[in-house]
Every structure is written in C-alpha cells, then in structure tokens.
Chains A and B, each alone.
Chain A
Amino acid sequence: MKIYFKYLKILLKSQMEYRTSFILLSTGQFFVPFLIFISIFLLFQRFPNIGGWSLYEVALCYSIIHIAFSLSECFARGFDSFSSTVIKGDFDRILVRPLSTIIQVLGSKFEFTRVGRFTQSVIVLIFSLSNLSITWEIYKIMTLILMVISGVFIFVGIYMIGATLSFWTIEGLEVINIFTDGGREISQYPLNIYQDWIKKFFTYVIPFGTVNYLPLMYLLDKTNRSIFMLAPLLGILFIIPCIFIWNFGVKHYKSTGS
C-alpha cells in the first residue's frame, strides 16, 4: 500500500510538468459532462418528470454515478488502458517484480485530469441536495458514502475484466465501453425508466442499480424497505469475481515478445 502512494506521488509530479495540457484537459473533463447535465436540465424545463423522478432527484442520481466514474478513471486508469501495456510487452516487467500485479497495474497510471469531471459532479450534487428536503441521519449519510464507493468498485471491476480480455485479444475492445461509458450514461437516470431487460441486466449482472437507483429509493423515501440501504454493499461484492477473472488471465498470459 505504501508503494501505491509512492507511485501516486511520482505520477502526480510528472503530470504537473505539463501544466497547460493538464489545465486544458481538466477543463474539458469539466465541460463535457457539464453540458450533458445542462441538457438534462433543459429537458426538465419541458417535461415535469421522468419515470416519476424530479429534476433534483435525477441530479442526485447523476452526480453519484459521475463522482464514482471520475474517481475510478483517475485511480484505475492502469486497467482502463491496459491493452497498451500488453502490446508493448511491459507486463513482463510487472510479472518479475515481487509485488501483487493488481497494485502495480493500479499504480502504473493515474489520470488526474479527471478532477474536472469530479468537480462538476460535486457541484451537481450540492445543487441537488440543497433543493431536496432529506432529513439527514447517520444511516443516510453512510448510505450516500457507500453508494459512491460501490460505484467505484463496479467501474474498476469492469476495467479489470476488459484488461483481462486484452491478454487474449491484445488490442483493446471497444465493446467494453458499453459497460463503462454505457453503464454511466444508463445510470444517470433512475433504472425504472428503461425496459425490463435493461433494468434486470444492470441490477443482477452488472449491479449499477445498487449504486444509485435502489439506495436512492430509500434515501428519497420512495420505498418503506430500508433493506435497500444495504444494496451498495452488494455492489461492492462485484469486485470479487473480477479479481478471480484477472488472476486467471494473468496465469494464461503469453508475452507479445516485443
């Protein structure tokens, strides 16, 4: 763990060397999702609600998933862009070091420019919470924090599966974007607006529903079942099979030899 923070510090310093590029990219990371939120805001000027959820409730949904996404992209970028490591044969170097492969790949890359996306999501979160009347108690605050953590774990899990696939395909697979970018876009809105098969897929197979939809039903008093506050914990479990799949892939790794 100590080594992980050392990696973090070194890479932060190296990215700060290119300051203009850093500022530009962060600005972009701020405005690209921000315009999406503006669009949602404008749609709500014409339509009163979506699937029974108001603008502020959707904003809460949106901010949670975007915070989780920006954190996972910043800290697990190594898995997200893993195919280039395989192509260059750099993974051989990782294998000979006496340290877990997961920590090393996690530490190989950080995208600090995601601070832009993170900032805009926090702004949306504040905008939403200041307009909603939630009676805050310790359980609800804990649920909110767990939701973000669970989101990060699920995104990282998907990156790991994508990275594992590139052991075989060498090249990165664009299809995995359906689950990362697609999952993010899907869970910007509450899951109940979608067709049943999408709802089930993103609850039981890739559990994005446990990140915001189910626990928000509890937070916003849309259900009596307080068991929903535990849903994010189930989402966190998603990482376990992903770690197994990753380890399986590492065992079958054949170097590209370049």
Chain B
Amino acid sequence: MKAYYSLFKMTLIKGLQYRISALAGVSTQFFFGFMFIMVYQAFYLSNPATQPISLRELILIVWLQQAFLVFIMLWFRDSEIINLITTGNIAYELCRPTDIYNFWFAKLIAQRLSRAILRCFPILLIAALLPFPYKFTLPDHLTTIILFFLTLILGLIIIVSISMLIYISMFYTMSPTGSLLMFSVLGEFFAGLTIPIPLMPDFLRNLTYMLPFRYAADLPFRIYAGNIKHDEAIISIGIQLFWILLLLTVGKLWLKKALNRIVIQGG
C-alpha cells in the first residue's frame, strides 16, 4: 500500500509543477464555458416554457464541467503507459514487486487530481466574480456540497477504471487510437458533455442512465446545481459503487489474462 501511496504523491507533486500550461488551459476553458452559456441562453430565449432543467442550473453545470474537465475527459491519456506497452518496457514494470493494476491506477488518479487542483480554483473563482446570470454561486445546503464531493470523487474512480480498460486493450491492439476513439466519442456524448442529459429525448436519457459515463460527469454537477434532489443522489451513489466494483473486477481479470499471453516486443 505504501508504494502506491508514494507513487500517488510523486505524480501529484510532479503534476503541480506545470503551472504555466495550467494557466493557458484555464483561459481556454473559461472562454469555452462562456460560449456554451451564451448558446444555451439564446436557446432558452426562444422557448420560455419550462424545461426539465433551468438555465440557471445549466450555467452552474457548465462552469463545473469546465473546472473539472480533467476529471471527466476520457481522451486524456498517459503517454508513458502507452509507450511502456508498445516499446516492450513493460518488462521492467512486471519485475516490480507491486500489482501493476494498482500501480497504474494510483498514477492515473494522481495525474488527473493534480491538474484539476491547478485548474478548478481559478476558473470557479473568476466565475464567482461575474455578474448575474453568469455568476457561479454556492448551493444553499451543506449536504449538497458534501454529496457533490462524494459523487465527484467516486466519479473520478469510475473514469479512471474505464480508462484502465483502454490501456489494457492496447495489449491486444498495440495502438491506443481505436479504443480511445470509441470510448471518448461515445463516452462524451453519453456523459452529457455535448448536450445536457436533461435536455435529451426520453429514450436517449434512459440509455445514458444504463451506462457508467453519466455517473462521472453528469451526476455530481447536477447534484450541485440542485437539479438532482438528495434522496435520488443517495440512490445514485449506490449505483456508482456498483459500477466501480464491476469495472475494477473486469479490469483486473482482463489485465491478468492479457499478461498471461504477453509477448515482449523488442529488447
């Protein structure tokens, strides 16, 4: 356990060094956040009838999405692990007296965490200073914030377990392109990143509720915005735990199988 923790800590500290690149990322994400809000604003103007989600809730969700983008993006990849697999240096990793799944898992979590820490505060702080209706505000109840953080962390675990599957599939395909593509294209859509899930037609919305993606990106943000009530949130945490258990088990078994038939490329 100690080895995983120190790897986690090291990756975290390393990630926190990239402050300039984070600054560039912050301004880009801030711009995109603004743009999405203006588009939704214009849409809402055309139809004042009540929608399943209010514009105000949507604005909060957009800011949170931009702030925690690295928590929810599947295409975010670690070239080190990819190189290990394609060059055959995986042999060194296998010599270590550690479990390779846990080792990578700790690393991937720390990477995303360090980037999010650098980026979320400036984005949310500036957004909080904006005039109404763009303003980012805190929710009314403390329970909402607790539920938000709990689901956000569980969501991060879900995303990393899914991305672990992408890396494991590389033992077979030798190239991340295919699986990364499939997961990120469909994953983003079903996580509600291109169209908010409440605004989807019913059959699509039901479909997203059956897939793991929305439990990482859509659920915590809608809890924060108040679009999902507390009792529904608690049920959803149960579903999150179920997905984590399933994804971890599948990932570990699959990795074991992949390592059994592994052929080291090159020398």
A residues with CB within 8 A of B: 21, 24-25, 27-28, 31-32, 35-36, 38-39, 42-43, 45-51, 173-175, 177-178, 182, 185-186, 189, 193-195, 198
Determine how close the nearest CB of chain A comes to the CB of B79; give it in whole angstroms. Answer: 14
Determine how close the nearest CB of chain B comes to the CB of A55; give it in whole angstroms. Answer: 11
Q: Find B27's partner among A42, A47, A178, A185 (CB 8 Å cutoff).
A: A178
Determine how close the nearest CB of chain A comes to the CB of B85; give it in whole angstroms. Answer: 16
The reply to whether B28 and A178 contact each other, CB–CB distance below 8 Å, is yes
Known pairs A24-B181, A46-B47; A189 contacts B24 (CB<8 A): no
Contacts A42-B195, A49-B46, A182-B35 aside, 5 further interface pairs with beta carbons under 8 A come to A28-B185, A45-B201, A174-B28, A182-B31, A185-B32
Determine how close the nearest CB of chain B comes to the CB of A158; give it in whole angstroms. Answer: 14
> Across the two chains, which residue of chain B brings its CB closest to A30?
B185
- Give the distance in Å from the alpha carbon of A198 to the alpha carbon of B200 in the complex: 28
The reply to whether A174 and B46 contact each other, CB–CB distance below 8 Å, is no
8 A Cβ contacts from B187-201 to A:
188-189, 194-195, 199-201
Can you give 18 contacting A-B residue pairs, CB < 8 Å? A21-B175, A24-B178, A31-B185, A42-B204, A43-B199, A48-B46, A48-B47, A49-B46, A50-B46, A174-B28, A177-B28, A178-B31, A182-B31, A185-B35, A186-B35, A193-B39, A194-B42, A198-B35
The reply to whether A47 and B194 contact each other, CB–CB distance below 8 Å, is no
For A177, the chain B residues whose CB sits under 8 A away are 28
- Give the distance in Å from the alpha carbon of A66 to the alpha carbon of B60 in the complex: 29
> Across the two chains, which residue of chain B brings its CB closest to A198?
B38
Determine how close the nearest CB of chain B comes to the CB of A61; give it in whole angstroms. Answer: 12
> Across the two chains, which residue of chain A brings its CB closest to B189?
A35
The reply to whether B32 and A47 contact each other, CB–CB distance below 8 Å, is no
- Give the distance in Å from the alpha carbon of A189 to the alpha carbon of B200 in the complex: 20
Determine how close the nearest CB of chain A comes to the CB of B86; give it in whole angstroms. Answer: 13
The reply to whether A50 and B42 contact each other, CB–CB distance below 8 Å, is yes
Q: How many B residues are at the interface, by size bracket?
A: 20 to 34
B residues with CB within 8 A of A: 21, 24-25, 27-28, 31-32, 35, 38-39, 41-47, 51, 175, 177-178, 181, 185, 188-189, 194-195, 199-201, 204
- Give the distance in Å from the alpha carbon of A28 to the alpha carbon of B185 in the complex: 8
Q: Interface majority SS on A: helix, strand, loop or mixed?
A: helix
> Across the two chains, which residue of chain A brings its CB closest to B43?
A47
For B27, the chain A residues whose CB sits under 8 A away are 175, 178
For B189, the chain A residues whose CB sits under 8 A away are 35, 38-39
The reply to whether B199 and A51 contact each other, CB–CB distance below 8 Å, is no
The reply to whether B178 and A182 contact each other, CB–CB distance below 8 Å, is no
For A189, the chain B residues whose CB sits under 8 A away are 39, 42
> Across the two chains, which residue of chain B brings its CB closest to A173?
B24
Most chain-A Cβ atoms within 10 A of its Cβ — which of B27, B42, B177, B201?
A: B42
The reply to whether A28 and B181 contact each other, CB–CB distance below 8 Å, is yes
For B25, the chain A residues whose CB sits under 8 A away are 174
For A21, the chain B residues whose CB sits under 8 A away are 175, 177
- Give the distance in Å from the alpha carbon of A42 to the alpha carbon of B200 in the complex: 7
> Across the two chains, which residue of chain B brings its CB closest to A171?
B21
For A24, the chain B residues whose CB sits under 8 A away are 177-178, 181
Determine how close the nearest CB of chain B comes to the CB of A184; give it in whole angstroms. Answer: 11
The reply to whether A47 and B46 contact each other, CB–CB distance below 8 Å, is yes
The reply to whether B43 and A43 contact each other, CB–CB distance below 8 Å, is yes
- Give the distance in Å from the alpha carbon of A198 to the alpha carbon of B34 in the complex: 10
Q: Find B199's partner among A25, A28, A46 (CB 8 Å cutoff).
A: A46
Known pairs A45-B201, A46-B51, A178-B27; A194 contacts B38 (CB<8 A): yes
For B21, the chain A residues whose CB sits under 8 A away are 174
The reply to whether B44 and A47 contact each other, CB–CB distance below 8 Å, is yes
The reply to whether B38 and A43 contact each other, CB–CB distance below 8 Å, is no
> Across the two chains, which residue of chain A brings its CB closest to B27?
A175
Determine how close the nearest CB of chain A comes to the CB of B204; give it in whole angstroms. Answer: 8
> Across the two chains, which residue of chain B brings its CB closest to A189?
B39
Across the A-B interface, the 9 shortest Cβ-Cβ residue pairs: A193-B42, A39-B195, A174-B24, A39-B194, A28-B181, A47-B43, A47-B47, A49-B46, A50-B42
Determine how close the nearest CB of chain A comes to the CB of B179; give it in whole angstroms. Answer: 10
For B32, the chain A residues whose CB sits under 8 A away are 182, 185
Determine how close the nearest CB of chain B comes to the CB of A232; give it in whole angstroms. Answer: 23
For B45, the chain A residues whose CB sits under 8 A away are 51
- Give the distance in Å from the alpha carbon of A175 to the alpha carbon of B39 in the complex: 21
> Across the two chains, which residue of chain B brings its CB closest to A45?
B201
The reply to whether B201 and A42 contact each other, CB–CB distance below 8 Å, is yes
- Give the distance in Å from the alpha carbon of A25 to the alpha carbon of B185 in the complex: 12
> Across the two chains, which residue of chain A brings its CB closest to B36?
A185
Determine how close the nearest CB of chain A comes to the CB of B200; give it in whole angstroms. Answer: 6
The reply to whether A195 and B178 contact each other, CB–CB distance below 8 Å, is no
Determine how close the nearest CB of chain A comes to the CB of B72; give it in whole angstroms. Answer: 16
- Give the distance in Å from the alpha carbon of A159 to the alpha carbon of B101 in the complex: 41
